Structure 1
Amino acid sequence: MKIFIEKRTLKSDGTRTLRLIYDHGYTTKSNGSRQRKREHEVLDLFIYDKPKTPAQRKHNKEHLLLAETIKSKRLVEWQSQKHSFEDRTKRSASFIDYFQRQIDIKEQTTSTSNHSIWLSARKHLLFYCGKHDLSFDELDKDWLDGFKYYLTNEAKTKSDTALSRNTQSSYFNKVRAAINEAHREGIIRDNPLSQVTSIKAKTTKRVYLTLDEVNALAHTECRYPVLKRAFLFSCATGMRWCDIHRLTWSEVETFNNHKRIIFDQAKLSQGDAKSLQYLDIPKSAESLLGSPKASHERVFKGLKYSSYINVELLRWALAAGISKHVTFHAGRHTFAVIQLSRGIDIYAVSKLLGHSELKTTEIYADIIEQRRMEAMLTFPDIFASSGKDSAA
């Protein structure tokens, strides 16, 4: 192994932070390609890129010397106790760099909207950290409580307004997800999240359609036929936009005289670890697939996410006599509410939707809770005459 000092990217104040790079050489992937294996340790040191005063030159000399001293110490540690050294260097690595790697993974495996939330969360993470590079060792209860306070009391949007409660929750959950992943990878041994509560999101109104409204859409012309097919398919299957968008014919097969889709849920996948969903689809949904094509071709070819699609969804709904603010995700809400209204077991609906937690599905159950409805509709008539009054 080789260790060397790296001067990081030039900052706006004319300084460069220092860190140690641990070069373990190359590893060979399963496909035969070689990949450089490197780790790094953040040092709380910096130098002036172009020192202008004797004080700045002295500062550079002292900090570079200190960095060399730490480098020599690490080499001795490596030679004397390899395992504990590796463990310590993992913990001293940059969490911010790790968070960026998670973002890169999400860009390839999740929807555009989810990826954009990760990017926004990173902006606030960087703002909260300031010029300081955050290491895994610093991710403790105090830091997490401080970040929570920043999101709930100090963070602002581009228009200089406070973040909504649900946005606060979303950003904090992205940081939580990265920490949990680091814990699974063994970078963090004691997960600090066990001591910190999440930012609870507010329950928002979910737009869904009734079966009659879905029928109305099915009999109304849409400017983009592929959008009509895809949205109705979501209503009939509960599939997300990202999964419908990338669905290929290789994922559609015939099973016991009906069509079955075996697909990888983008939202639940973790890197190379896939989350396969087996979904048997009803006959009405089969008709929306269209004629089979080559296995590599997309089922809903030509379906693209854009502002035009969102506008057309609203126009199409209005043409069908529906005044609700319909987005593509309303199709998934519609599927959940219709299934629960039919008396389908909530556990089965949760599995069909691919929810990792039952509490996510329970939000839909609350919308159509039959017992609560009956309790109100069967309340005794307060104006009805009593038997005593009738006798009089």
Structure 2
Amino acid sequence: MAKIESRKKQNPKLQQSELSDGRASLYLEYYLGRTETPVLDENGQQVYYTTGAMAGKPKYQIKHSRKKENLNLYIWLHPRSQQERVQNKNTLALAEKIRFEREQTFLEDREGYRLRKEMDEDFMEFCKEFIKMPSLTKYTRITLKHGLQKFMDFLAATPRYALYKNNLKMTQLTVDMIAAYVEYLKENGTGDGPKIYFRMFKRMVTAAVDKDLIKKNPCRGFVLKNDNMTLQKEILLPEEIQQLVATHFEGERTEIHRAFIFGLYTGIRWCDTVSLTHANVDF
């Protein structure tokens, strides 16, 4: 059976993944270091060891960070002919050459330390910079700001996570934290609000994942849906609209009356109505 040789001190290491067709796919595995996250109790307080040699010392959760690079090279797991054995030998030689070149680049550029540093960036600061992107519309930026503020409110209001309200590293954004945030939104919102807040939050998390700042999207699998059995917004009946349109009184502001009618028949929001100018009209 074909098997690659991997030395402990190599970084990256050449690894293989068995396929169902009798071959193995070769890939490189980089070790980027480790992170230490304090273990907290339900009240957000540091947990300490109570027994053993570590008694009295704070507990930390250790997480090792790795990255894989697929080489798109394949070897036969059970070569049956001389041709397949020669093919394996040449493929492994090429893979080792690539591995050695990657290792030199890794050491020269200290890529592992750079990636580790980026993963230790503050998630909040990343979101604030993301919101400033010129490609986003004004409405999207406003909604993203509300989504970020809602998440910050959740951290501050949750004893377990209050420690992170001012600084939350990318590696500290966990699945458990997202699950708690989803429950917070359900309990502290009605109508479309919770769904919109979470959608904007997921958009910022996905942007961090796309930049390799977060290795695995912690929001995957979480969905917020509206309760279809309840009326989300109060709606005026047609006869009520006609009554409001026909209603006038002394001292009324006609421009407000017209703007209200305009909103009723177009669905446009008041905050957008007040910013309309003649330049916005497509004649």
* Shorter-chain TM-score tier: 0.3 to 0.5
Q: Which one has the bigger helix percentage?
A: 1
Q: Which has the bigger relative contact order, CA under 8 A and spacing at least 6?
A: 2
Q: TM-score, normalised by structure 2?
A: 0.46
